[in-house]
Amino acid sequence: MVNLGETDLPLGTGVPGVYLSPPGFERVIDLLRSGVAALAADEPFQRLVIPPVISRQTIERAGYVQAFPNLLGTVHGYGGTPSGWARLKPLVEEGGEWYAQQQIGDLVLLPAACYPVYATLADRTLDEPAKVSVEASCFRQEATSEPGRLRSFRMLELVTVATDEDCLKWRAARLEQVEGWFTELGLAVSVEVADDPFFGPGRKVYQAAQRMQELKWELRVPLADGTVQAVASANYHKEHFGETFGITAGGAPAHTSCVAFGLERLAMALINRHGKDSTRWPGDVLAALGGAR
């Protein structure tokens, strides 16, 4: 077998922020999945596995482009019609036919796991809260690549679509629960009100409003020596998605909340704290990860 070297930690691929995940690291990701499933067992979440692409129209409707034009990865395709092998060489040369004829398509790379859920619930009237748990590979065109900042990473989310009161109560309870869970996992967690790295016009107003209304809480933990990163966030979007997608709850546009876990960052934090070999982690840590051993 070809020796890939240090096989328990993610392997670089030659481009920043994109890694291959070896078995030891993947075992930790699986433990995290079972840990989140145990946390979420008190509610009937419908579990959906989400593809790594989403309709461009959906993401535009959701306002993502105005907010984060720099982070969105778009899917382009060749729009020309090569008429034979002779044209292939100029096709793939920089500035050649293949580059010149790229056209934006109807898909973009998914930037967060919960967006497809809101589009799927479009035009529905909910008699009871919708509870969905999702996992997806997400992509963000990050400008930097410090430890824990990946461009391609997996996100696991618990999502509630309901009335304002239900969403706020739910998020507060889950935030407290997740903070307690991270403490059980031995992670030194801090919970901080945050804003999204909004780049569009009106940035300052948007970020200040987001902070003032406490729409986003981040749970931050150490990932490596001298590096603390957000490993999860608890978000309340008010009626933004309900209005955009025509979802109704309690006779008004539905409100939405989500709790998002960054699986790679969490795995890095646990490995940083307890070591690479998850089979030797303390029993109470393994118990907090769904009892799996």
Q: Does 33 bind ligand 5GP (CB under 6 A)?
A: no
Is residue 15 exposed (0-12), middle (13-18) or buried (19+ Cβ within 10 Å)?
exposed
From the list Zn ion, ligand 5GP, none, partner contacted by residue 230 (C-beta under 5 to 8 A by kind): ligand 5GP
CB-count exposure of residue 3 (10 Å: 0-12, 13-18, 19+):
exposed
**Binders in 149-178 for Zn ion, by CB under 5 A:** 157
Backbone angles phi, psi at 261, to 5 degrees: -110, 130
Q: How far apart are the C-alpha atoms of 218 and 259, rounded to whole Å?
A: 10
Using CB under 6 A as the criterion, what x/- string covers residues 117-156 for binding ligand 5GP? Answer: -----------------------x-x-----xxx--x-x-
Q: Which stretch binds Zn ion (CB under 5 A): 19-27, 41-49, 79-87, 257-265?
A: 257-265
Question: 23-39 and 164-184 helices cross at what angle (nearest 10)?
Answer: 130
Q: Which of 78, 77, 74 has the alpha carbon at shortest distance from 88?
A: 78
Please give the residue whose beta carbon sits closest to ligand 5GP in the complex: 262
Nearer to ligand 5GP, 192 or 284 (CB): 192
- Distance (Å, rounded) from C-alpha 274 to C-alpha 276? 7
Which listed option, ligand 5GP, Zn ion, none, makes contact with residue 164 (CB within 5 to 8 Å by class)?
Answer: none
| 59 counts as binding ligand 5GP under rule CB under 6 A | no
Residue 58: which of ligand 5GP, Zn ion, none does it interact with, CB under 5 to 8 A by kind?
Answer: none
Among 58, 160, 163, 233, binds ligand 5GP (CB under 6 A): 233
| Residue 258 binds which entry of Zn ion, ligand 5GP, none, CB below 5-8 Å type-dependent | Zn ion
> Which of 190, 238, 177 is CA-nearest to residue 42?
177
114 near Zn ion, judged by CB under 5 A: yes
How far apart, in whole angstroms, are the C-alpha atoms of residue 71 and residue 150? 12
- Give the shortest CB-275-to-ligand 5GP separation in angstroms: 20
53 in contact with Zn ion (CB under 5 A): no
What's the Cα-to-Cα distance from 159 to each of 21, 27, 91, 125, rounded to whole Å? 26, 25, 44, 17
Coil vs helix vs strand at 256: strand
CB 191 within 8 A of CB 168: no
Asked if 260 touches ligand 5GP (CB under 6 A), the answer is yes
Answer with the entry of Zn ion, ligand 5GP, none that 134 interacts with (C-beta below 5 to 8 A by kind). Answer: none
Q: Binding residues for Zn ion, per CB under 5 A?
A: 114, 157, 258, 260
Q: Binding residues for ligand 5GP, per CB under 6 A?
A: 112, 140, 142, 148-150, 153, 155, 230-233, 260, 262, 264-265
